[in-house]
Every structure is written in structure tokens, then in C-alpha cells.
Amino acid sequence: METVIIIVFVLGYLAITLEHTLKIDKLIPALVMMAVSWALISFGIDDFQTWFDSSKHALSENFQFLDHDDKMYVLEETLLHHLGKTAEILVFLLGAMTIVEIIAYFNGFSTIKNFIKTKKKSKLLWIFASLAFVLSAIIDNLTATIVLVSLLQKIIKNRKMRLWFAGLIVIAANAGGAFSPIGDVTTTMLWIANKVSTGYLFAYLLLPSVVCMIVPTIIASRLPVFKGYLEIDTSNPEPAGRFSGTMLYLGLAAIIFVPIFKVFTHLPPYVGMMLSLGVVAVFAELFSSSKFSMTELDKVNENPPVHHSPVHYSLSKIELPSILFFLGILMAVAALESLGILFGFADWLKVSTPMLGSELAGAEVSDLVVLLLGVGSAVIDNVPLVAASLGMFNEPMDHELWHFIAYAAGTGGSMLIIGSAAGVVAMGMEKINFFWYLKKISWLALIGFLAGALTFFFTRTML
């Protein structure tokens, strides 16, 4: 039965990877893979000899001697445990997405556009790369990419030129998301699972992430395509709404507050995110009520108030397919973890993979394994890779392994346009060709990834 479950997982994984070829949204195989895996576990529960206790991160003793009812009870308790851990991540993401949509409702991101005054290509590249790096650490790399590519479309009319900027934005956004607990889904997963803390995450990964962004940007700024000036009109700034700037800064501050809340209260991050969402929602409702003019009151009275609530509107804009995908993939990986498959695979990796420099830092897991995980995240979605690593390794909190995994999975996806959520959304918004990105941008992303990894080898020796 274990073999059948692994086959189901592999087939589901392939379907996710070939999403664009099969023309099937990746949430569908993720949900099917999750449901079928747990159903097969239920059918074959009496035949399993081992069971992995996720709460203790160890194999359960005497599981094979339990009767059917006791094994089913263990199964239900394990399923509930994993659902609870997964729900923590999903509720956190829902809160963050809603805050970002509220900012967009008030046209808050237009404030950023009005700061851009230059027409020099290389200088504009540095502005967008820096914005992508900083914004992704605050509002996550996916949203930062959406915001900045949207700004590109308003500023740069030449599509071929926009493609180059979009490619470098993807690299910078993924780099910026790696060192922040709220900057990338995979880093958030490690943070919520208490594998990394905010302070050590910054200490380990801030410098490698900066290097990962700066090195490709320096090289790109010297390419012929970024020489000269753009034909753009910056003389008439886009008019911002009455509360655009206020909601932008309030929303960003609310998201930044979440790690601080966790440090002081020791409560799960989703609790702080719900508090932040509540505060932002209060101001959004107050500000939206003052947006209506006297001539609009009759229109408002003709329709139910719910349609004019910025919070309800923002909730309707959330990308629920992504939420369902995370649910499916995390629970599917949890099925493999519960059977002890990932635990055994981790032991095999530890003894069969050569140690590349890890002995210098006393690491138990080869750096090569993590580097391969980073390269793999460019081909395969990084969410299941990190989810699998949570079940494979049992190193303590803030062990260098977890921070290296956060870096590799977060930045490795930049090497292919389909390797990260930021890349996929840029691909969709600008219709970027896979092979164009492979030829023009991938080598820059690879250089940045390796430069950041070498920097990490240095930073970990200092901690």
C-alpha cells in the first residue's frame, strides 16, 4: 500500500509540474492527491507497521501491535494535527492577502509610482529591484511582483523592455522574500512550524539575500539592453486617492507588526495577523464611508451595504485557488510523513550524499542536498519541497539547516520562470515566453543564487 501511495504522490506531483502543458490548474491534482492518499492510508491502516508521530517528531512505538480501532483513532488524531498546522498557514495567508487587497482598494500602491522620476534605464532597474526586494519582505514576493509589474505597464510602453525589467523583478522579489518570515510562503511555513525565528532568520539570510539580488542587478545594469534612456512621461503623476498613502503605510505597518506580536505573546502568527487585519479593516470602513459624495448616496442606498464594504470587496478578490492548492499539497505531504516515508528518506540522504563543506560548520545534512533542493524548486513547486523537508529532518529550531533551506527554496525558483509564484504571475501578466526567460534571465538568477549561497556559508560561521 505504501508503494501505491508513493505512486499517487509522484503522479500528482508530475501533474502539478506540468500544469501549463496539461492545461489543468495545479490545485486540482493537489486536492485529488491529498484525498486519495489519506483514503488509501485508511483502507490499509492494518497493514502498516510504522507510524510517525508528528507532535513528537519520532516514530510511534508498538504501532504494529494496536488493533484496528486504536489505529483508526491514531489516524484521526494525526489527520486533525496536520489539518490544524495547515490551517495556521492558510489563515495567516488569508489575513495577509486581505490586507494587501484593502491597500489596493484605496489605490495605495499608486503612491509608489509617484516616487519614480527617472528615465535612465539602469537607474530605473535599480529602483524596481530595490522596491521588489523591500516590498516582498513585507507583503510577500507574489504580491510585490503583481504590484511592480502593474507599475511597469503604466510607466514603460515598450513590451520587450518590460520583459527584462520583469525578469529582474522576479529575482529581486524572491531574494527579498527569503529572509523575511512573511516574505515567502515557504519561509512562512518554516516560521510557523517553529523551525526558524525572526531574529536568526534576519541574521542568517539578510546578507545572502542582498547579495542574491545585487549581483544579478549589477551584471544586468551593464548589459546593452539597460543602456540609455526610456521614452516615458513622468511629468504628470498619477492622482492618488484621499487615503491612498495612509492605507499603504497602515497596511504595511500592520503586516510588519505580526512578527513583533509573536515575539512578545508567543502566540501563533495567525493570531497577530487577524489582529492586524481587524485594525486595518476598522480604518478601511471609516475611510470608505467618507469617500461617498452626496451625489453617490442615492446609489449606495439602492444596493445592500455589503457591496460597498472595502473588507467584503477585498475578501472577494483573494486568490482562493492558491489557498486550496496549499491545503492539498501540505496535507498530501503530511500523508507521506505519517507513514514515516520522509523520515526514512532523510536518513538515506544523510548517509549517501557527500558533505560539501558542511563539516566546517558541524552540519549533519550535506549542503549539496539543500543546494539540490534549491535547484529542484526551479522545476518543481517549492511549497511541497519545503513541506517534505519539515517531515524529513528533525534538527532543532534555528539550526543552520532550516535557514539554508529557507534561502535555497526561496531563491532557487528564480532560475526558471515557472519555478516560483512570482515568476508564474509575471509570466501571466506579461506573457513571458519560457525559453526567452531561460535564455535571458536564468543565468543571472543562477549566478545570484550561487553568490548568495556562498555568502550564507560565510554568515553561518559567524553565528
The DSSP line for 328-382 is HHHHHHHHHHHTTHHHHHHHHHHHHS--SSHHHHT-SS-HHHHHHHHHHHHHS-H
Residues 33 and 8 sit within 8 Å (Cβ to Cβ): yes
Please report the pLDDT score of residue 301 as a whole number.
44
User: In terms of Cα–Cα distance, which of 208, 211, 203, 214 is closest to 130?
Assistant: 214
Contact 404, 367 (CB under 8 A): yes
Q: What is the pLDDT of residue 110?
A: 75
State the pLDDT at residue 282: 92
Q: State the CB neighbour count (10 A cutoff) for residue 98.
A: 23
Task: Please report the pLDDT score of residue 303 as a whole number.
Answer: 47
Instruction: List the chain residues with pLDDT less than 50.
Output: 292-307, 355-364
Q: What is the DSSP letter of 120?
A: B
Burial 411-449 (b: 16+ CB within 10 A, else e): bbbbbbbbbbbbbbbbbebbebeeeebeebbbebbbbbb
Looking at residue 302, what is its pLDDT? 46
| Element housing 53 (H / E) | strand 52-53
User: The whole model's pTM is what?
Assistant: 0.72
* Cα distance between residue 31 and residue 34, in whole Å: 5
> Whole-angstrom Cα distance, residue 245 to residue 251?
10
Single-letter amino acid code for the residue at 224: P
